Chains A and B, each alone.
Chain A
Amino acid sequence: MVRFQETSSGEGPVALAVSELSVTYGDFVAVERASFRVTEGECVAIVGPNGNGKSSIAMAVAGLANRRGVVELFGEVAPANDPMWMVSRGLVLIPERRQLFPNLSVLDNITLGCYAWTRSLRSALRSEAVSEALEFFPQLGPRLRQKAGTLSGGEQQMVALARGMASRPRVLVIDEPCLGLAEAVSRRLYQVLAAMNRQGRTIVLVEENPVRALELSHQVVRVQNGVTVEVSRPARAADRSGGA
């Protein structure tokens, strides 16, 4: 049962506004004039079948894919193709396939997330961002010295999330966090995402599985053939079942 609901998060200040976003690769159009806005503290799911441009939206918003159209982050117009600008202003991408540094240690992977705001290893290691990220994933504790490439898929996804957390994100764009992960691990990851969202972080979630995405999201952007076909505000499973 889908009902529209006025959530408090539907009104606050806009964190991310995307309008008329298009992404093309050669003559292949991956995304055509997608538009949506994300309110601060909200969780938005971008759903749709595979190969319909969801990931391209995430990549383009983060500045990693060539784009046309306007992306505004906290009211500022973001320059295209400049991921550094985005990261330094608090929009952090947790990409599909994680994109870790396989031959660096887990700890190095996570501390490199701090590169967004510091050049000092000492302040990175002592920062709250890193310790908080490690608290979220206690499983990583014993593996900090291990090379990231030797971890299992689920643990690698945790490292990717921890690395994103270390960047002091205000908006997290998470692309297919559960791709190739077993059901139990996916559930655990979703619990973490929910916790992050409760702490006030804005989350943009790219997800193939709409059921899973609905557990968490205030707003759903449905993408088909590179076009945003529907933007809706169904009630979250979290709100429905939790009663709060």
Chain B
Amino acid sequence: MTSSPPRPRRWSPSADLLGRAAGPTGTAIWVTSLAILAVVALQGGYYGSVLVLGIAYAIVTVGMAVQIGYSHQLAFSQSVFMGMGAYGVAILDTRYGWPVPLALPVVVLGSGLVGAAVGSVVTRAPGLALALATVLFPIPVTTYVTYSDYLGSYTGIGGIAPLWAGDSASDSLIRSGIASALLLGLCVFACGRILRSGIGLELAVSSDERSAGALGIRTSRRKLELFVLGSMLAALGGAVFAGTQTVVSSDIFSQVSELTLLVMLFVGGCRSLVGAVVGAIGIEYLAGSATFVNTHLLIIEGVLLTVVLLFEPGGLAAIVVNAVRRVPGSVPARVDHGPPAPVPRAAPAGPVRPGRAEGIAPAADAPALVCRGVSKRFGGLVAVDEVSLEIPGRGLYGICGPNGAGKSTLLELISGGLRLDAGQVLVEGRDVSRWSAAERAQHGVARTFQTVRLIPHLSALDNVAIACLRSHRTSMIEAVVRSELEEARERAYAALARVGSAHLAAVDPGRLTLEGQRMVEMARAIAAGPRLLLLDEPASGLSGDQRGRLRELLLSLGAEVTVVVVEHDLELLATIAGQLFVLINGRLRFQGDGDGFRRSDLVRSELMGLVEGSYAADPSR
């Protein structure tokens, strides 16, 4: 903790409020029954209609909490999809006479398809481009709607049948309110289940492209699913809006409504489903209550948003949780995500498990790793220049060389983080040159990073558990039905125990020492049971004792799998690695065992900067 010492954190908003008091089912039931109670209690009066409007917005913000708050996919297209849902229901009902309960699922599914089409384009762009492009959506759509007579131009479409018609206007409102509360509960349940499944962990990592790739997660699919989820919930919210307000106009598309949605989300708590619901209904209530609040709504929203961002980015949800925490004997302070992780007492600290990649039988006797003429250029600079090397199988292999020699680049080329310009990479006899990082990871290639890349907001255990998920092929819909989180956590715990860091399981990565972070990352790399383990400067920044422990760990890992270590600590490498490779200016200049390495003139002059005397023999090292 030299430059960034760990700061004590109050509440890690890793989990949603859900995770503390009840599971997704319980929370959904609570939310639904409270909403229904309130709808009934308000008797369909003015405040009843405000509440129902709030529920419609809450359905949208719940989707945003998953999409924006939890997964950092900053898309500003919700108001467009909300409008799509509202206008869809309005047109099907008023023009074609469909009953609203029938129109609603059709419109939501239709919006999902549109979301999939749009999402397949926009989610490929980098984060900021996605945000900026979606910011532009409302403008042309609003223009189109206000020009279109078919869509009722400025006045919009009125006279939509209520979601659930009753005897009188107020009766209809109560019934529609109950229906929308049930829909809201359903959304909270589904989103809660998704966050609490293994996919929840994948979503948390999906904004970090490099880590995700190294963990075998295909982010493109998760990003698309997220976008579709957000779009469908927005459309559902819009449909409920139409079915309860009975009139829609182009206001719903406007950027102002998009901004209001964001204020609702952040004030309530962007990483909490309940927070999103409370934020939406609360802001809607503020707007609908006192005249003063209504006329000064922009100011109040702006100030609220500023205060929340400044003092508690977790929003109201975090404030409540922190307050509850301070009461002794209340909800215990947990750093982990979701339900309590069962900590298996007798965790099998056994060997690294065999690879999980199914259906790929390694070619018999094929060497673990072969590089043939591997090259990489950055502009005019040749970072890796026709490197060919062969690593037969189990054991420790070291790569060293001066700074900028291309060591890390070579590691990236092997792991798939960078594309080859020329040459081939073969893992266990299979040519993986054209594979993505995620595919290689699933084929049993795991790695650590030079600067540790752990996911903030997730406990160390969950950081490791991400690598243990088998859910890469499952979809979000399946995640609603079943969760494999517990199983993944057990495997993760075993991996942590394997590197001797089981005691760190519940700790937030921000509070770990550098050694702890490296160990957690190491556990993450071995947790999936890789057959080829790539370590980028594992000893960098560690002290003498810590290096000693690392040395033991590396030796024991080397007995089980193929370990390739890039390192500056030559003495460490020379004593543990069965074979060493020296890269200088992108070229492979030496390969051989530890003794040959120490005797090599090249190594002595280029790496140790020695002309006479032996650095390795320095007794003080």
Contact = CB atoms under 8 A, between A and B. Distances in A.
Direct A–B contact in complex, judged by CB atoms less than 8 Å apart: yes
Interface of A: 25-28, 30, 49-51, 54-56, 59, 95-97, 150-155, 176, 179-188, 208, 211
Given A49-B543, A55-B2, A185 B403 contact: yes
B537 interface: yes
A146 to B, nearest CB: 10
Most A CB contacts (10 A, CB to CB) among B5, B541, B542, B609 go to B5
Interface in B1-26: 1-3, 5-8
Contacts of A97: 3
Given A54-B2, A59-B3, A27 B608 contact: no
Contacts of A55: 2-3
B564 to A, nearest CB: 18
Given A181-B568, A182-B403, A50 B607 contact: no
Interface of B: 1-3, 5-8, 381, 400-404, 513-514, 537, 540-546, 568, 570, 606-609, 615, 618, 620-621
Given A26-B7, A50-B543, A184 B609 contact: yes
Q: Which secondary structure dominates where chain B touches chain A?
A: loop
Contact of B537 (A180, A183, A187): A180
Nearest to B615: A183
Contacts of B568: 180-183
Contacts of B609: 183-188
29 contacts: A25-B7, A26-B8, A27-B8, A30-B1, A49-B545, A50-B541, A50-B542, A51-B2, A51-B514, A54-B2, A55-B3, A56-B2, A59-B3, A152-B403, A153-B403, A154-B404, A155-B403, A176-B2, A180-B403, A182-B400, A182-B607, A183-B568, A183-B570, A183-B609, A183-B615, A184-B609, A185-B402, A187-B609, A211-B618
Contacts of A185: 402-403, 609
Contacts of B514: 50-51
Contact of A152 (B2, B404, B542): B404
Contacts of A153: 403-404
Nearest to A208: B543
Nearest to A191: B609
Nearest to A186: B609
Given A26-B8, A208-B543, A211-B621, A181 B1 contact: no
B620 A184 contact: no
B505 to A, nearest CB: 21
Contacts of A181: 403, 568
A155 B400 CA distance: 18
Given A51-B2, A185-B402, A188-B609, A179 B621 contact: no
A56 B1 CA distance: 9
A182 B402 contact: yes
A50 B539 CA distance: 12
B567 to A, nearest CB: 10
Contacts of B404: 151-155
B410 to A, nearest CB: 15
Contacts of B401: 182
A1 B402 CA distance: 32
Nearest to B605: A184
B620 A211 contact: yes
A83 B618 CA distance: 39
B8 A96 contact: no
B608 A183 contact: yes
A49 B545 CA distance: 9
Contacts of B543: 49-51, 208
A186 B2 CA distance: 20
A182 to B, nearest CB: 4
Contacts of B618: 211
A196 to B, nearest CB: 19
Contacts of A30: 1, 5
A214 B462 CA distance: 43
B325 to A, nearest CB: 16
Chain B CB count within 10 A is highest, among A154, A176, A180, for A180
A50 B518 CA distance: 14
Residue from the set A51, A59, A96 with the largest chain B CB neighbour count within 10 Å: A51
Contacts of A208: 543
A30 B609 CA distance: 35
B511 to A, nearest CB: 9
Given A25-B7, A50-B541, A184 B2 contact: no
Contacts of B544: 49
B5 A25 contact: yes
Given A50-B542, A179-B540, 17 more contacts: A25-B5, A26-B7, A50-B541, A50-B543, A51-B1, A55-B2, A97-B3, A153-B404, A154-B403, A179-B541, A182-B568, A182-B607, A183-B608, A183-B609, A184-B606, A184-B609, A185-B609
Nearest to A182: B402
Contacts of B1: 28, 30, 51
Contact of A184 (B3, B402, B545): B402
Nearest to B542: A50
Contacts of A27: 8
B491 to A, nearest CB: 30
Nearest to B5: A25
Contacts of A183: 568, 570, 607-609, 615
A28 B513 CA distance: 13
Given A154-B404, A211-B620, A50 B7 contact: no
Nearest to B7: A26
A59 B540 CA distance: 21
Contacts of B400: 182
Contacts of B537: 180
Nearest to A50: B543
B402 A154 contact: yes
A26 B540 CA distance: 27
A59 B4 CA distance: 11
A51 B513 contact: yes
Contacts of A49: 543-545
A96 B2 contact: yes
Contacts of A96: 2-3
A181 B5 CA distance: 23
Nearest to A156: B403
Contacts of B606: 184
A5 B540 CA distance: 34
Contacts of A188: 609
B5 A28 contact: yes
Nearest to B569: A183
A152 B621 CA distance: 26
Contacts of B608: 183-184
A211 B615 CA distance: 12
Contacts of A56: 2, 5
B159 to A, nearest CB: 58
